[in-house]
Structure 1
Amino acid sequence: MSIGKEILFFFGALGAFNGFVLSLYFFFLTQKKYLSNYFLGAMLLALSIRITVTVFVYFNNDLPKTYLQIGLSACLLIGPFLYFVLQSGIHSIVKIPLQWKLHIAVWLVIIMLAGFWFPYQNYPILWNNYLVALIFFQWFSYSLLSGFENRMLLQKIISDYANAVPAEKWFGTIFLGNALLFLSYFLGFSRVPFVSCITGAIAFTFILYLIILVLMHRKRTDDLFVFNIKEKKLNQEEAFVLSQKLEKLMLEKSLFKNPNLSLNDTAKELGISTHQLSQFLNNNIGKNFTTFVNEFRINEACEIMLSNEKLTLESIGYDVGFNSKSTFFAAFKKHTGTTPLNYQIQALQT
């Protein structure tokens, strides 16, 4: 085996090993037992089996075809477990619904019956030409369904990652990591030039290290695993007090003029957690952090336009906290329904 292949084997095998270790961690070692963690452990176990088979078969084609059957069969569980990870975590489900149990049971029965009636060893053409395609279609379908049902979460992460709460980043990483692995394997099986199935094993290694680093460099992990999307709103009195405090902070300290202002910075000024502030804005105010701050910036920009005709629109945008002309113009039109120039012209005519 060449040095290059030895390196590939090392990283692929390391990723598979770490996957098994992490699956045990989520099954048994987390301090609090969340349903989403059990499903994540199951998904990592299925992925680790798939990766292990990929690595060893890639570097030893003489292994019995039964290993290939085991690896491909494991793929049938990745998609369902991904779906259950996201659904149980994002919607705070604490007990496995009966239909989920039946769902998993059906796929386990299909795996056992297909393996018994049509073993890879005796039906390689059937597996290579048909069953592999069905397996990847099933994995893709579950990934697509998971993304569609949680599209609001994914859109928020993509558009405003810096201000996403830890749980949003956590579940977003799980989904995107699965998408990367699926793409790697799909391209490998499709025989795309310069891409092989070992690419998936290497990708899995780096994704696992990312997960490990997140876990190791945090003082607490509960806020990763808990996504209280149905958390109750603050009562009217609590919401009013916090709203007044936040508005006073924005106006007196002009926090909105800081182009790098983050959800975390604002929460620290208020003396509350990032998660509490995010929940307050979303549940009680009905706005995300960026929209909330931009409204202060736009209101300030409108006042400047009326009082100072000599300043350029671009300079006004920078003065009130926007970090680019295009961002300022887009936010202004979204908030007022017109462009800064039209607003200024109409204001001067009146």
Structure 2
Amino acid sequence: MSFGQQMLFFFSAIGAFNGLLLGLYLVFIKKLKYIPDFFLGLILLTLSIRVGISVCIYFYPDWPLIIPHLGLSALFFTGPALYYYIRSSFLQEQFDLKKSRQSFGILTLILGTVGLLYLIFPVTWDRYFATFIYGVWTVFIFLSVYKYYIFSKKDAKKLTQYILPVLISNVIIFLAYQLMSTGWIPIYCAGGSLVFSLILYGNILILFNNKYRSAAVKEERKYSNKKISDEQAENFVSKLERLMDMEELYKNPNLKLSDLAMKMNISAHQLSQLLNDNLEKSFATYINEYRISEACEKIENGSYLKFEEIGYEVGFNSKSTFFSTFKKIKNTTPLLYKQSQLASEPRFQSLDL
């Protein structure tokens, strides 16, 4: 076995092994509280059995012919499992688990009958039995896609971030096996196994990412339900003003809401809520007001710096941003503001006299 074959065997085998463990956990170990998880486990279990046997047959072709037929028999249930995964995911409590069990019982009876006929009559297994299995798989793939389209169209608000990746993954695996079975790609069994491994780990990353995002949304909702009291808001505002005046955090052009919240030892959501609800300002407006206020002081004190240099000094990262923000807050330009200050000086001097 060459090094390339060894690597192919390793990645295909480890994908099949992990898929088998995950499938066994979802089907037999995890309590049946969420029905779609059972069918997802069944999909993983049947594909893993097929993939594992395919890998072994590809690298050890002397195994008895009954072994690959067992792999095909497992693959027979992949399509129905996907179909009922789609249905149960959308229907939730309305899904009839009893009817699905009856359907799987009928499918098992059909598979057993077909297998018995092939054993009794001298028919070529590799050709007709595989065609029968792939034919059933094809029918259920189309039914699954159709059901997903119908359900998602009826209930657009239904969360489908878990359903769609599973459906797409199964379609990709199905197409990979169909194309490889035509002989266009010479490494039929091992190639399909490698596709399964890649799809499996890709879905694991997607699911972890979706769970992380869901947790973040739940955390945000948790804080959104807690309104900041007037007394607590007053303390936060005082602490915020002290930080801005003493440490001059606004001069940092890369200052972020999360950075300021960390300084205050509160969550970013709480700080955003404080600014929006209590001060009625966005984070950007609050910071820019401090920057423009100091820029005005520098202009009033006759700073020798150019206007754009003043903008950089007070925390802006570009000349255009400084000028546009100054115009927005002061309703004038830095030059006109300076001219207005110079024009007002003689009047004050005459009053002193």
Which residue number in structure 1 is paired with residue 111 of structure 2? 111
**Structure 2 unaligned blocks of 5 or more:** 216-269, 274-353
**1:168 aligned to which of 119, 143, 160:** 160
Correspondences of 1:298-317 after superposition (within 5 Å): none
Which residue number in structure 2 is paired with residue 15 of structure 1? 15
Which residue number in structure 2 is paired with residue 203 of structure 1? 195
Q: Give distance in 1, aligned partners of 2:201 and 2:136.
A: 27
- Aligned to 1:168, what secondary structure does the other structure show? coil
The amino acid across from 1:146 in the alignment is S
For residues 172-194 of structure 1, the C-alpha deviation after alignment (integer angstroms, 9 at most, x for no partner) is 11111111111111111111145
For residues 326-348 of structure 1, the C-alpha deviation after alignment (integer angstroms, 9 at most, x for no partner) is xxxxxxxxxxxxxxxxxxxxxxx
Which residue number in structure 2 is paired with residue 148 of structure 1? 146
Residue 187 of structure 2 corresponds to residue 182 of structure 1: no
CA contact (8 A) 1:69 1:119 kept: no
Structure having greater relative contact order (Cα 8 Å, sep ≥ 6): 1
| Structure 2 CA distance for partners of 1:151 and 1:166, relative to 1, 3 Å | closer
Residue 57 of structure 2 corresponds to residue 57 of structure 1: yes
Q: Give distance in 2, aligned partners of 1:169 and 1:45.
A: 22
Q: Give distance in 1, aligned partners of 2:114 and 2:31.
A: 38
- Aligned to 2:160, what secondary structure does the other structure show? helix
Q: Give distance in 1, aligned partners of 2:79 and 2:32.
A: 25
The amino acid across from 1:132 in the alignment is A
CA contact (8 A) 2:90 2:158 kept: no
CA contact (8 A) 2:23 2:42 kept: yes
Q: Give distance in 1, aligned partners of 2:60 and 2:153.
A: 42
Q: Give distance in 2, aligned partners of 1:79 and 1:102.
A: 16
Q: Give distance in 2, aligned partners of 1:76 and 1:200.
A: 16
RMSD: 3.4
Which residue number in structure 2 is paired with residue 126 of structure 1? 124
CA contact (8 A) 1:143 1:179 kept: yes
**2:205 aligned to which of 194, 204, 213:** 213
Correspondences of 1:253-272 after superposition (within 5 Å): none
TM-score after normalising by structure 2:
0.55
CA contact (8 A) 1:215 1:221 kept: no
Q: Give distance in 2, aligned partners of 1:177 and 1:136.
A: 17
TM-score after normalising by structure 1:
0.55
For residues 293-334 of structure 1, the C-alpha deviation after alignment (integer angstroms, 9 at most, x for no partner) is xxxxxxxxxxxxxxxxxxxxxxxxxxxxxxxxxxxxxxxxxx
CA contact (8 A) 1:54 1:201 kept: yes
The amino acid across from 1:214 in the alignment is I
Q: Give distance in 2, aligned partners of 1:76 and 1:128.
A: 15
| Structure 2 CA distance for partners of 1:126 and 1:27, relative to 1, 3 Å | same
Size of the aligned set, in residue pairs, is 219
- Aligned to 2:40, what secondary structure does the other structure show? helix
The amino acid across from 2:11 in the alignment is F
CA contact (8 A) 1:40 1:85 kept: yes
TM-superposed deviation, 1:114: 3.0
Correspondences of 1:78-89 after superposition (within 5 Å): 78-89=78-89
**Structure 1 unaligned blocks of 5 or more:** 157-163, 224-267, 272-350
CA contact (8 A) 2:51 2:189 kept: no
Q: Give distance in 2, aligned partners of 1:166 and 1:217.
A: 18
Q: Give distance in 2, aligned partners of 1:149 and 1:75.
A: 21
Q: Give distance in 1, aligned partners of 2:149 and 2:102.
A: 26
- Aligned to 1:188, what secondary structure does the other structure show? helix
The amino acid across from 1:133 in the alignment is T
CA contact (8 A) 1:82 1:175 kept: yes
TM-superposed deviation, 1:92: 1.1
Q: Give distance in 2, aligned partners of 1:29 and 1:215.
A: 20
Q: Give distance in 1, aligned partners of 2:153 and 2:61.
A: 43
For residues 123-182 of structure 1, the C-alpha deviation after alignment (integer angstroms, 9 at most, x for no partner) is 5x52222221121111011010111121156789xxxxxxx9894121111111111111
The amino acid across from 1:168 in the alignment is T
Q: Percent identity?
A: 31
Q: Give distance in 2, aligned partners of 1:33 and 1:94.
A: 14
TM-superposed deviation, 1:222: 8.4
TM-superposed deviation, 1:211: 2.6
Q: Which is higher, the Rg of structure 1 or of structure 2?
A: 2
Residue 118 of structure 2 corresponds to residue 102 of structure 1: no
Q: Give distance in 2, aligned partners of 1:99 and 1:31.
A: 20
- Aligned to 1:187, what secondary structure does the other structure show? helix
For residues 15-63 of structure 1, the C-alpha deviation after alignment (integer angstroms, 9 at most, x for no partner) is 1101112113323565872011011111111111110111000111100
